[in-house]
Chains A and B, each alone.
Chain A
């Protein structure tokens, strides 16, 4: 069975900066994969490359066996890949409902506005935003805007969901809520890649973790393996953290 997403030797540079260097990675359907690494490691760039914002200069990307490198973002979206942004990107003056409708109408190819509206309401219920449906998106607090991003992405009916630092700026109660939501999404069969700095999130949620450092993939495996990997420890985790988490997971 082919992997859901195959990233093969993908490279992308900007000017002199090699943001992503020769990264190869496979994702299987139904996994929750964490993507971690220090700032500037290339995590967001990799997501941008997958979603078509920046085409790879080298390498290939196959989604469900089809080549998607070089496709435009809207085409990638239609194939079934959705992503959230680190800095949320809503349609500020449209209502919450309309924001989510956009996902349903275009990426999920609903045939008319009515169907899109229904699908959108369903996602708003799922994410707990139903009571805000007719407020302008700009009125939401940060935590709710993150939920809106999520609802919008879900309305796109993705097979693969890329979450870029969905917890940044949230307090711990909000983070827990977000975690539960992500678990529910995974239960529906959506494959998830989650870029995160909050390691407790990554280690509790993810089946596998990929570690990027200076554009290169330095480790890929189960949380336990990652925590014991000396390269990862020196590049990102630090010895004390590794010790604490290594022991906890035993």
Chain B
């Protein structure tokens, strides 16, 4: 990694660390949301970007993480442990689903993962005894003031985001990352060259689950109340994918850049076109796909964040 990348990253890290002392609750919440979506975009990147398997199941992991964290907290677990547990549960789901679904490719895989999220939502909706059904679940009351909570969750999401980024960086440079790239380029050749593609893909999918699950858990604590339509919302997945596309699929900095850029645009649209919110996002998506298919990191030969794991 070039020196200038490291320096820029450190500067960003420091700036982000001191923001809470200078920003109001509203800004903090936006920033927290930004970190959360960066996590989701990065988590998607493991399976969609590195391995090239278009997963539409991010919301499934997010939602299951949210429920896992909530239910354990309601049974006495400390929040931080519950978030870790949420990640593990989501990762386990990724492992199981991976074994079942990763033999599918392209469309079939995309739709299958999408359906999983829908099915999970329905189950959460119906299994009222366990999940509170459509009425949702309230988390244990927190004694923090709104200001404290805003700063606290800012830091939590920040740490999780940084951790996710480091994991992604590490994976990209590891044998696993190399293998996933080979799988994306030519899965048959990858098999012939000695890669256990089933294992690698499943690990990639599990990793994509873990981080999304943790994000879901933290989100649950952050909002204090979860319901199926909210945490299994397909728009969570779509936004994560659009951010990865916007920044650059399969790149290291792409998802984060995409998340930031997307949320900036989103704020603008929200302020000015409330009624056409979804439609405006749709227009952005269309323009993105047609004119910037490689994402923002591909713009300009001397872009600051130009490091890539693959094309």
Contacts and interface: CB of A to CB of B under 8 A. Distances in A.
Q: Do chains A and B directly touch (beta carbons under 8 Å) in the complex?
A: yes
A38 B197 CA distance: 34
B182 interface: yes
Q: Which of B178, B181, B192, B194 counts the most chain A CB atoms within 10 A?
A: B192
A51 B189 CA distance: 12
Interface stretch (A12-20, A73-81, A217-225): A73-81
The secondary-structure label for the interface of chain B is helix
A73 B181 contact: no
Given A74-B195, A156-B194, A94 B310 contact: yes
Interface residues of A, number: 29
Q: Quick one: which of B186, B189, B193, B310 has the most chain A CB within 10 A?
A: B193
B173 A113 contact: yes
B107 interface: no
Contacts of A101: 178
Given A94-B181, A94-B182, A105-B175, A89 B189 contact: yes
Q: What is the size category of the interface that chain B forms with chain A? A: 20 to 34
In this complex, the member of B179, B181, B182 whose beta carbon has the largest number of chain A beta carbons within 10 angstroms is: B182
Given A113-B173, A113-B175, A91 B192 contact: no
Contacts of B192: 51, 53, 73-74, 77, 82-83, 85, 89
Contacts of B191: 72-74, 77
B179 A106 contact: yes
Contact of A78 (B173, B174, B185, B194): B194
Given A102-B178, A106-B179, A113-B173, A92 B194 contact: no
B186 A107 contact: no
A63 to B, nearest CB: 15
B311 A152 contact: no
Nearest to B189: A89
A77 B178 contact: no
A83 B193 CA distance: 9
Contact of B195 (A90, A98, A106): A106
Contacts of B195: 74, 102, 106
B188 interface: yes
Contacts of B182: 91, 94, 102
B126 interface: no
A152 B190 CA distance: 11
A102 B193 contact: yes
B196 interface: yes
A195 B220 CA distance: 61
A103 interface: yes
A91 B197 CA distance: 15
14 contacts: A53-B192, A72-B196, A77-B192, A89-B189, A91-B186, A92-B185, A92-B186, A102-B195, A103-B194, A105-B178, A112-B175, A113-B173, A156-B193, A156-B194
Interface of B: 173-175, 178-179, 181-182, 185-186, 188-197, 310-311
